[in-house]
Amino acid sequence: MQTTENTCLVLTTAPDQTTASHIAEQLISLQLAACVNILPPMQSVYHWQGKVECEPELQLFIKTQRNKLSAIESWLAEHHPYDVPECLVFNANAGSPAYLNWIKELLD
């Protein structure tokens, strides 16, 4: 295992496959992410505008580096269909050296 301070995982959701694919493709094309995984539909239950909502969504796992976070957050704020898109960041404190180096080489 190799330790890292730069690699992180960003989570966001999308309402459908078309939107999820568009987000993933744009983040990759703009070199803001090395890889984006789109998970199958799930059910999200949340409070919105005073009501409990229950909607299908897809979860996106965005593998990136810390220096890309501001640009990812800005891109999501401008292009995401939600008024308040999910943007949660988790540090990848350690991982496979080959995988961490792959991310670094793509995004540096």
The Cα 19–Cα 13 span in angstroms is: 9
Strand partners, 45: 54
Torsion angle of C-alpha atoms 40, 36, 98, 67, degrees rounded to 10: -140
Q: What is the pTM of this model?
A: 0.95
Q: Which of 29, 34, 30, 39 is nearest to 8 (CA)?
A: 34
Q: What is the pLDDT along the chain (108 residues), one digit of tens a residue?
A: 888 889 999 999 999 999 999 999 999 999 999 999 999 999 999 999 999 999 999 999 999 999 999 999 999 999 999 999 999 999 998 999 999 999 999 998
